[in-house]
Amino acid sequence: MIDPVALASRLIACPSVTPEDAGAIDVIAEALEAIGFTVHSFWAGDAPDGPVRNLFATRGQGGPHFAFAGHSDVVPAGPGWGTDPFTPVIRGDLLHGRGAVDMKGAVAAFIAAAARIPDHQGTLSLIITGDEEGPATHGTLALMAWMEERGIRPDLCLVGEPTSAHRLGDTIKIGRRGSVNMWIEVPGTQGHVAYPHLADNPAPRLIRILNELDGWTLDTGNRWFQPSNLEITDIAIGNPATNIIPGVARARLNIRFNDAHRGADLVEHVRQVVARHAPRGTVEARISGEAFLTEPGRLSTLVTDAIHRATGLEAELSTSGGTSDARFLSRLCPVVEFGLCNATMHKLDEAVAVADLHALTDIYADIITHALQG
């Protein structure tokens, strides 16, 4: 048997601020090997986004194949904590430490759940990366490439992100919106403000571009997704002088989009808007992930039934929130996300209820049992 609180504490003690590993993967590997898993770990990528340490562990053989995915890296702690963020401490009913909720607690709970079920049909695996909180270029994508080379493909996948809103088990994620960042640059010609005919001010054109984009209604949402939204996140000219027409104006925007869109199509629309108002303008884009939806079915029912048996709650099926590595894993198989309460994730004095760690272990054990019945 594995105590999820003790294992979570060991993981919190590893200051694995992305992309640093700080021993976290070794802690996970040791725990998994002790309960019969074959563990493979490898480094991927170079600085500045790497190197990243990743882990794939498997136990059993044949089908069905049920996978758990998660991450060992955390966001920086920042100043102002009541205690050392990487020294786990229990105060009252809460275990405090960076990563307690997002998501070392869920990783510990799943390993503890797997320890309860040493004999099972099919294959149980864990897909763990050290690069979820960062650029996510050398983590889950590298693991998926490693799996593809070996012909490994799960039938179902559960991601242990902290999805619960108010009580453990009240929400699971069956999809996520996509995200794209864009950088717009409008060139002009610098000159004296008293001689505008000798200059070309890019600011009015950028304003017209942003005004049109701000008024763009992408969609009105659908059954599972809220409306897509475009947000202007930065406007920069950087002109310290009052008597100079600037030579360039820049802006940045982000679009969170539902499954009515593809990232490339949104980028092309923005480029067309820019071209109409500023023919020499440019748009650079980075698509962080496409929207995905796992239609309610066997996987979501496995999870919601296990939650109901443990808590009595009827979990809400949701697609709200930001992105996660489920956006990549959805290419492999049906994937849903379920984990701890997210109220303190990425915050000072991040903490998980000790009782929730034990309850999550119970739920994960139930999911494993029913997922591997065939």
Q: Which residues pair with 292 in a beta bridge?
A: 176
Residue 133 is assigned to a ligand binding site:
yes
Residue 102 is assigned to a ligand binding site:
yes
Residue 149 is assigned to a ligand binding site:
no
Residue 30 is assigned to a ligand binding site:
no
C-alpha count within 13 angstroms, C-beta hemisphere, residue 230: 20
Which of 160, 183, 102, 195 shows the shortest CA–CA distance to 303? 160
Reply yes or no on whether 132 is catalytic: yes
Contact 13, 83 (CB under 8 A): no
Residue 325 is assigned to a ligand binding site:
no
The Cα 235–Cα 249 span in angstroms is 8
Contact 290, 263 (CB under 8 A): yes
The Cα 17–Cα 77 span in angstroms is 8
The Cα 177–Cα 231 span in angstroms is 14
The Cα 193–Cα 244 span in angstroms is 5
**From 131, 132, 259, 350, the catalytic residue:** 132
The sign of the torsion formed by the CA atoms of 191, 195, 201, 203 equals positive
Reply yes or no on whether 73 is catalytic: yes
Give CA torsion, residues 345, 349, 353, 358, to 10 deg.
Answer: 70
**From 20, 21, 73, 350, the catalytic residue:** 73
Residue 366 CB neighbours (<10 A) = 20
Which of 250, 237, 265, 279 shows the shortest CA–CA distance to 184? 250
Q: Which residues line the annotated binding site?
A: 71, 102, 133, 161, 346
Q: Which residues line the annotated binding site for Zn(2+)?
A: 71, 102, 133, 161, 346
Catalytic residues, which ones?
73, 132
